[in-house]
Chains A and B, each alone.
Chain A
């Protein structure tokens, strides 16, 4: 009897040790893949920095593109990107927040609201180049905004709209129902409840969503190429503020432009090896800006979460 039991126990232990080995092997594989991916990416990023190192300097930021690689800079590119981001934020923030408030606080649960929500989800998955085609047909030609900063800004605003909407809805949802009930109980209208009690405590989440959206927009190349951003722009759009009346002008909106990712794309695509360093430098800067904006967004999200303990 004891011998039979002994054998069964041994069998169990042998099988078990084999299975536990597999477990350990899997952990090793998992860790290897995880850190392998991270390592490969880290190597690529450092190589990027190294390749572009020779170009970093004040000149790089203040020079226009040029046929000579050593003298080619990103002035028109980062100015263009800044102007575009400004338009994008100006459009995406109000529209996205308003749409999110509607969906979260006002919309009745019917088929019509479902359609809006389905559209928002769907738009998040549309390839960015299709947004470019939309912009080409709609903004550039149909609305006649031309190949301009305005077209680019509007296109990217539409592109990041789902991001802003989703982030805003989440932060609206975080406000407890009890606060809304208390406000309604005092006879407040829906808008009063929203503006007095819900929105003030959602600003953190909204800001996070906007910054995450902008960090995505800043690196988007395809839609802007499709609109027709040129990459050899050796001029800046007209300044918005001038010394004479009426002091503010909007010519810069309709001006032709270039942007950071376009410039990098152009330099990468050249057979001339000298421009690779430029491309790497531009890429490093672009990467840095993206990571910085993401980090800021995450920090804001963290700070605002800690602020109110309901």
Chain B
């Protein structure tokens, strides 16, 4: 798999016109496609309707407002990256998508995250967080496989959904492990403890575990920050492949990773969305000065 994804796209796309319509507009704007891309090479045109859209999303930890009026479209089957300095709210925003904040006391959402195609509000009070988590998957920063066998790790999400049939489980587990590019390494070790794997393997196992339940969006929370460069490279490669089948939202503090892996990048600062654009454009010609300062390393 070709590693130079960003350059390839840049070569072919040539002229890329981007009309960002969020980040600086007023709160609850009516539904408009967030980002439209006009490409010269129509062969490269991918249908990227929105999969999810955050509209006027605000979030509080107690009295501390961590997210301020975020309006962002997540296109379907693309990789969208969230970058920004520490404390800018990117992980907080990510965790709104699968309601992980509900596990802490004293948290509050305002606004909406609309999920297509059925337009339910992921952060709505009337929506059950457990249901949300069954449709949206997550991979965490530090690999956290269960202290069970490789097979049982991947099968757990399926068992939760009532799938007990051995053949079906075996088939879906294998499919997930293949999709996570780890099948060959573990196919003879399915019943061995997952904790015996290396860090990179554990993380790919966690990806397989999340994929097994066929989520509609897959969230990655700094998935490679605890891994060595070789494992990191494998996972970045995997993420690029996965975009064919699932919408991906990835938080990373490593800008180069965002540049390598994502189609769209959103820059956040102090709880606000500053700018979002196609990755190629945002890293070469950002519209806002704040973005440019961050990207060029003026502040971390």
Contacts and interface: CB of A to CB of B under 8 A. Distances in A.
Q: Do A and B bind each other?
A: yes
Given A109-B105, A186-B133, A308-B147, A181 B156 contact: no
B134 A187 contact: yes
A108 interface: yes
B162 to A, nearest CB: 12
Interface stretch (B24-32, B49-57, B70-78, B137-145): B137-145
A187 B213 contact: yes
B146 A179 contact: yes
A186 B140 contact: no
Contacts of B144: 176, 178-179, 181-182
A308 B157 CA distance: 22
Given A178-B140, A196-B156, A309-B195, A184 B146 contact: no
A113 to B, nearest CB: 11
B146 A178 contact: no
B127 to A, nearest CB: 13
Contact of B133 (A185, A201, A309, A310): A185
Contacts of B90: none
Nearest to A310: B147
Given A181-B100, A309-B195, A187 B130 contact: yes
A189 B130 contact: yes
A310 B147 CA distance: 8
Contacts of B156: 183, 186, 188, 196
Contacts of A173: none
A188 B98 CA distance: 12
Interface in B126-167: 130-131, 133-135, 137-138, 140, 142, 144-147, 156-157, 160-161
Contacts of A59: none
B47 interface: no
B276 interface: no
Given A109-B105, A178-B140, A184 B206 contact: no
B204 interface: no
Interface residues of B, number: 26
B130 A178 contact: no
A13 interface: no
Interface string B196-231: 000000000010011001000000000000000000
A14 interface: no
A109 to B, nearest CB: 6
Nearest to B195: A309
Nearest to B152: A196
A270 interface: no
Given A192-B160, A196-B156, A185 B137 contact: yes
A182 B100 contact: no
B1 interface: no
B43 interface: no
A197 interface: yes
A185 B146 contact: no
A108 B104 CA distance: 10
Interface residues of A, number: 21
Contact of A185 (B100, B105, B161): B100
Contact of B142 (A109, A178, A187, A192): A178
Contacts of A189: 130
Contacts of A184: 100, 103, 133
Interface string B84-109: 00000000000000101001010000
A172 B213 CA distance: 28
Interface string A272-310: 000000000000000000000000000000000000111
Nearest to A109: B105
B210 A186 contact: yes
A187 B159 CA distance: 11
Nearest to A182: B144
A186 B137 contact: yes
Contacts of B206: 182
A201 to B, nearest CB: 7
A182 B146 contact: yes
Interface string A53-89: 0000000000000000000000000000000000000
A185 B210 contact: yes
Given A108-B105, A178-B140, A196-B156, A185 B98 contact: yes
A187 B209 CA distance: 12
Contact of B160 (A176, A178, A186): A186
A186 B213 CA distance: 8
Interface in A147-192: 176, 178-179, 181-189, 192
Interface centre among B138, B145, B147 (most CB of A within 10 A): B147
Interface of A: 108-109, 176, 178-179, 181-189, 192, 196-197, 201, 308-310
Closest 9 CB pairs of A and B: A187-B134, A178-B144, A187-B133, A186-B157, A185-B138, A182-B144, A308-B147, A188-B160, A187-B130
Interface of B: 98, 100, 103, 105, 130-131, 133-135, 137-138, 140, 142, 144-147, 156-157, 160-161, 195, 206, 209-210, 213
Given A187-B134, A192-B160, 14 more contacts: A181-B103, A182-B144, A182-B145, A183-B156, A184-B100, A184-B133, A185-B100, A186-B210, A186-B213, A187-B135, A187-B161, A188-B156, A189-B130, A196-B156
23 contacts: A109-B105, A178-B140, A178-B142, A179-B144, A179-B146, A181-B103, A181-B140, A182-B145, A182-B206, A182-B209, A183-B156, A184-B100, A184-B103, A186-B134, A186-B137, A186-B157, A186-B210, A186-B213, A188-B156, A189-B130, A201-B147, A308-B147, A310-B147
